[in-house]
Amino acid sequence: MQSSSRRNFIKTLSAASALAATETIARPFSQVAPAYIPNLKKISPNDKIRFATIGMGIQGNFDTRAALRNPDVELVAVADLYNGRLEHAKSEYGNGKELFTTRDHREILARPDIDAVLVVTPDHWHDHITIAALKAGKNVYCEKPMVQHLNEGKAVIDAWKKSGKTMQVGSQRISSAAFQEAKRLVQTGEIGAINYIESTNDRFSAGGAWNYSIPPDASTQTVDWDRFLGDAPKHPFDAKRFFRWRNYKDYGTGVAGDLFIHLITGVHYVTDTMGPTRIFSSGNLAYWKDGRDVPDVMSCIMDYPQTDQHSAFQMVLRVNFANAGKINDATRIIGNEGEIRFSENNLVLTKHKLPQAPGYGGYDSFFTFTPEVQAEFVKQYDAQYPPETRTAEPVKEVKFEAPKDDDAHAKHFADFFKNVREGSQGTIEDPVFGFRAAAPVLACNQSYFEQKVIHWDPVTMTQKNPATATGKKAPTRTPAKKTVATAKTTAGKS
C-alpha cells in the first residue's frame, strides 16, 4: 500500500525520472550531461521501499532474500538476461502477483515507482548500471567489487555524490557481529599495533573453482548474449562464458575480485585504513585449464603505510583452487600484543605480551661466554631488570561467539534501507569505502597481468604508475567496443 506522501513523492519524481531514463535508454553509454535526480524527499517510515533486482543469478537470489528479510520492503521487478531466471524469479517472488520482468535493466530505471535497485550482475556491468541508476534517481545496492577496473571507480563516486542518493556496496560480512567485535578489539588496542594480516581461501572442487552448472536450454534464444557482452570485446555465443563468467577477465575480476575483496573490506572496516600504497601479486593457472584466462593460484602482498589510524602493516592473501592437500584456511590480524583469528562467524582473540626483560639462557649465546663473563652478565642483567619486569602476562584466549541469529546479510541491507528512508548517504559501505576496498584487488589483477608492482595513492584514489598497454595479458578495455546491442524486451512475458 502506498501512502499519500509516497504518492506525492512519486509524482514529484516521475517527470524527471522518465526524462533521465529516456535519455539513458536512447544512449546507454553516451557522454550526455548527467540528469541527476537528487534525494528530494525521505521515504516515510510507513512506506514500503520498492526495489528491483538487476541480475537474478546465484547472488541475485541470495541478495533478494536477504533484502526481503527486512520489514517494509517489496520486490517489484527483476531484470536478467537468461529467460529461465526470469521465469524462476516469477514463481519464486511473484507471491501470486505478476512480477515485472525484463531483459533490459533500463526499463526498470525508467519506472518512477521503484526506489532502489540491487545491481547483482557480473562485474563488467557494475559501473554502467550503477551510474545509470543513480542518474535515474534510484538508490543503489551494488555487489562487490564495486567496479571491474581501477579507472572506473571515480565515475561511480562522482555519480553518487551528484545524485544525493543512498548507495551500499555488497561485502555484507562487515555487517557481521564478528567484524564489529574485531573493530572494537582493534580500536581499543587489545592486540597492540597491527603489523601483519594474512588470509587464505583455498578450494578444491569444480563448484569452488566457479564451474557452475549450465542449463541445457542455454542458447541465443534464451540468453541475451549481445547485452551480456556490453562493453566487453565481441565474442560468439558461449554458454560457458555466460554462466561461468568469473573465469574470464573480460567480465570478472578473478580470485582477487571474488575472494580477496571480502577480507580487504573487513580489514578496512576494522582498521579505518584508506588502503595500501604498494601491491604485488603473482600466480598461475595450475589445474583448471578449461579455457579460463584467469589464474587459479594467486598470492598477493600489500603494504599499508603508517597513518594516524594505524601502524604500518603488511597484508598477505592467497587463494589456491587446486589445493588437494588438507585445507586449513585462516584469517588472522596480528599485532604486537596479540592476534584476532576469524573462524566461520566467530573470532578468537589471543593476547600475548612480552615481558620487559628479554631473558637469557636456553638457546642463546650465554653458554658460550667464560664463567667470569657470565657472572658479570648476570650482575648487569639483575641490575637492569628487577623481578617485576621478568614475568610475562599469561597468554590469554578470549572467544567471541556471534549470536546464533546474527544475519550479516540482512543487516547489511537493513543499513541500506535505513539510509534510504532517511535520505542519507551514510551507509557502512558507501562507494568511497567500496572503491578503496576494491582498488587493491583490481591492482592485484593488474600486477598479475602486467607483472609489476602497482603503486597506489589510497587518499586520492589514484594509480601512481598507470597501466602499461603492452603488459602481458593486460586487462585493458577497448573503448571502441562500448556498444550495447538493442536487445529484445521481454517485459512480463519471458
Q: Which parts of this chain interact with ligand NAD (CB under 6 A)?
A: 54-60, 79-82, 85, 105, 120-123, 125, 143-144, 170-172, 227-228, 245, 258
Measured from the CB atom, is 170 or 338 closer to ligand NAD? 170
Of 123 and 181, CB closest to ligand NAD: 123
SS3 label, residue 14: helix
Least Cβ distance, residue 9 to ligand NAD (angstroms)? 26
Burial 79-95 (b: 16+ CB within 10 A, else e): bbbbbebbeebbebbee
* Of residues 47 and 430, the one with the C-beta less far from ligand NAD: 430
Cell of 371: 664463567
Short-list 488, 373, 492, 476, CA closest to 77: 492
Q: Which residues lie across from 140 on neighbouring strands?
A: 117, 167
Between 185 and 317, CB nearer to ligand NAD: 317
Cα 454 from Cα 449, distance rounded (Å): 11
Task: Give min distance, CB of 56 to ligand NAD, in A.
Answer: 6
Closer Cβ to ligand NAD, 43 or 132, answer by number = 132
CA 341: distance to chain centroid? 21
Shortest distance, position 251 Cβ to ligand NAD, whole Å = 8
State which H helix or E strand residue 157 sits in.
Answer: helix 153-163
Position with the least CB separation from ligand NAD = 57
Do 135 and 164 form a contact (C-beta atoms < 8 A)?
Answer: no
Q: Which helix (H) or strand (E) holds 143?
A: strand 139-143
Quote the least distance from Cβ 129 to ligand NAD, whole Å: 7
**Between residues 43 and 110, which has the closer beta carbon with respect to ligand NAD?**
110
Please give the angle made by the CA atoms of 253, 254 and 255, to the nearest 5 degrees: 125
User: Minimum CB separation from ligand NAD for residue 123, in Å?
Assistant: 5
The residue (of 191 and 239) whose beta carbon lies closer to ligand NAD is: 239
Q: Which of 192, 207, 234, 459 is nearest to 351 (CA)?
A: 192
Which residues are bridge partners to 413 per DSSP?
none
Q: Whole-number minimum distance, CB 78 to ligand NAD, in Å?
A: 9
Distance CA 37, CA 9 (A): 12
Least Å distance, CB 460 to ligand NAD, is 26
